[in-house]
Amino acid sequence: MDALRVYIPKYTTKEAIKVHFDLVFVGFGTVGRGLADLLIEKRSLLEKAYGIKWRVVAISDLKLGSIIDDNGINLAEALRLADSGRNLESLPAKRKGLSALEVIKESSANTIIEVTWTNIVDGEPGYTHVKTALSLGKNVVTTNKGPIALYYRELMDLAKEKGVHLRFKGTVLSGTPAFNLFDGPLSGCSVQSIRGILNGTTNFILTEMEKGADYASALKEAQRLGYAEADPTMDVEGMDAAAKVAILANALLGADIKPGDVKRRGISSITPQDIQNAARRGERIKLIGRAEMNGGKILAEVLPTSLPTSDPLANIMGVTNAITFKTDCLGDVTVVGPGAGRRATGYALLTDLISIARSK
């Protein structure tokens, strides 16, 4: 990538903030490796434009093993091993074989990248990882929807009490700007309501069904392409979207809800007939997540909704995600972009690290 083509903020000066991230990867699957790719690729840009230096002092992964070295781990070599499915413990390191929790407690890291699997029933093991790291005064960046959707307030309060940062951009729309807009380009603008296509798998299935595919084969294709959750019921029954609605409502509308408080219906009962009937009316069926604060009460729902094709959300096809924010200063603002994928979600973690550096 040509770093010169990257927009470098004008307010970055030679005296730019200097932040040294000593990182731990808790989980080194697709998303963690997406961040690792970008850290290596953008090392020089991060230093020149944002004053960020980084090294990785530990990696812990259930399948790939666990290594700690306070002098730094060779991340390119770790990536090479992980991408070929080989154990990381063949790399030189001071300590090996520790559990994720031991690594969080015993490494010298100041920032934890928590990218273990999503569990929106009790948030584990991510919840314990995030809570432990924050309690020890370490920043956390995560794409893990479970702990954030279930324990947003508790974890944010803990981060505040400890004077560290908890960032979770990648939980909604992966690296596509979403709630982080309101800390940056849309600062000072208030959100009145949120409507969005928050799940790529279901939007892909609905798109394929409109082209004539049947529900089961469209779902199978979404799984083959790697969009769907390990348990695709999470996607098709709207649980994944409900977790994202809860995160958006809590982060942007001052709500205090859990995914279970979101009224929800998925797309498993949508038939090709429903889709054709909508098309005859000049409409499209989309799985829409919605949150709105009304007289101090939160309305939060995920429902298949028939939208007129004049609605920007009706024209979001395939695995793409989108959110329309209704704001006080700009009216409707719609963002459209990827909601999953190695590079897109890795980038969410990178924006979180840059955002921490900038806030220092």
Separation CA 216–CA 210 (nearest Å): 14
Q: At what angle do helices 145-162 and 239-253 cross, to 10 degrees?
A: 30
When the beta carbons of 70 and 210 are compared against ligand HSE, the nearer one is: 210
When the beta carbons of 314 and 319 are compared against ligand HSE, the nearer one is: 319
Token duo for residue 63: 């399948």
When the beta carbons of 278 and 319 are compared against ligand HSE, the nearer one is: 319
CB 241 within 8 A of CB 287: yes
- For residue 342, the minimal CB distance to ligand HSE (Å) is 12
- For residue 338, the minimal CB distance to ligand HSE (Å) is 9
Separation CA 16–CA 183 (nearest Å): 19
When the beta carbons of 314 and 340 are compared against ligand HSE, the nearer one is: 340
Q: Tokens 């520790």 label which residue?
A: 98
- For residue 74, the minimal CB distance to ligand HSE (Å) is 30
Q: Which is the catalytic residue, given 42, 131, 244, 286?
A: 244
- For residue 243, the minimal CB distance to ligand HSE (Å) is 9
CB within 8 Å of 64: residues ≥ 6 apart: 28, 81, 82, 86, 87, 88
- For residue 276, the minimal CB distance to ligand HSE (Å) is 24
When the beta carbons of 98 and 228 are compared against ligand HSE, the nearer one is: 228
Helix runs in the chain, H state only? 30-41, 43-50, 75-83, 100-106, 126-135, 145-162, 200-210, 215-224, 233-236, 239-253, 272-280, 342-359
Token duo for residue 271: 């038939």
- Interface residues with ligand HSE (CB under 6 A) are 199-201, 227-229, 235, 240, 339-340
Q: Is 244 a catalytic residue?
A: yes
Which residues are known catalytic residues?
244
